[in-house]
Amino acid sequence: MHDNPHLHRAVLRSLKRPFSVLLTDLSSQLLPLLSSPAFYAVPTVSNQFPFPNAVQLHVLSFAQFCEEVIQVFDELGLGTDMDVRGDGLKSTRDGFVSIINRVVNPFIAGIRGELVPIIEALESTKFVTATKPTAAKTALIYHPSIVALQILMPVYTRALTTYTSSTLSHATLASLLISMLWKAMVALSHRVDTKMSPLLTPEASPMLSGKKNRVASTTPPLTPPPGRFMIKLPPSRPPSPPALAFPSVAADAKVLYDLLISLPRPTAAEGPTRLAKEAVDEAFEGLRTLPALLDAVKYKMEFSGNASITAQAINHLTTEIPSLIALPIVLHAFGGSSMSSVASMLGISEDEYRKGCLSGFSRAEECAIPVAQRVMEILQLDAPANEVVIKWLEIELLEMEEEMTS
């Protein structure tokens, strides 16, 4: 048959009808499963259940069958010819790919919908963790979002590994990973490390101040009988309240990276998968190096007193970090005492700035040069107080302009 290309092509074309019937049958069986609420159910911190559940596993079996068919197509070189005079199986192959996407994309979207809000909440500082005074110095305190992710991530990792076995789903997987990594860096870079609040002293305690403000009586108190001294008197002051401990941004970033790195990632195949893997690897590298920058600026007294040397050191720490992610961190650490946010320096609202400039890696890269130039102009109005930030921005702008011309 292979010696006769016309006969070979005719045999392959004869497969189109049975494959069409198969695709129709698969779609009809898949439709009620995809309409089931159980298919879109994902575990939450307060609601744990087997994941994937029975309906999701049933749907997954359809996707895995289609994946096996496509693998055979690829091994035989079928369904890739755009010419209508070829094997005529291009539309058939696309049909199997469509079934895989109908299964995988909503599943990954459900996981995204649960994880992204938790990651975005990393920016919030509206939390306080009470600890014992002796343990406050040694115990590691994590943000509530980190605690939630420690519970959910192992479950989601197993499910995503099962659902993204096909390279056809790796573009969607890459989109999920890049979205979570970007949201994480935006949240962590805009969260300010909260220092430990001072404990209330008895003099400052509102509960005790009422007694201290009473008018003192001039009448001496009655001397109690001797038997009264045998009664155990209440303590003269209340016990000290527990220390208020706050999570470290750098510590949260390190744990978050360890959690996200456990997720499956696109393989290094050719074409779109290769590009997806490169984008994901670059995003992971940014989050991996972020804790070092957060730690360094937290203890900025360790930097050299020379502004140029300090700017060079910061530039070395921000090599893999997008400029607009590093900017609020450096501004908060080395800007003047009256330093405002990047958005206010640009003359727009925080929401407008984030939607316009911080919507993703590509958009942040496009806006990096004009934003850095405008911020530097504002900082130069009070140059002595912002010398480190200005010199760092000069280095960043020079490198970005070189990248554009190269």
Using the Cα atoms of residue 203, residue 206, residue 210 and residue 211 in order, give the sign of their dihedral: negative
Q: Are 247 and 122 in contact (CB under 8 A)?
A: no
Instruction: Lowest mean pLDDT of 95-109, 212-226, 240-254, 322-336, name the range.
Output: 212-226
Residues 63-76: pLDDT tens digits? 999 999 999 988 88
**Range with lowest mean pLDDT among 11-20, 45-54, 119-128, 280-289:** 11-20
**For residue 352, is pLDDT > 70?**
yes
Beta bridge partners of 129: 245
In the chain, what are the domain boundaries? 299-406
| 43-47, 175-179, 201-205: least confidently modelled range | 201-205
State yes or no: pLDDT of 241 exceeds 90.
no
Q: Which residues contact 35 (CB under 8 A, 6 or more apart)?
A: none
Q: Is the Cβ–Cβ distance between 66 and 55 less than 8 Å?
A: no
What's the mean per-residue pLDDT of the chain?
Answer: 82
Q: Are 45 and 148 in contact (CB under 8 A)?
A: yes
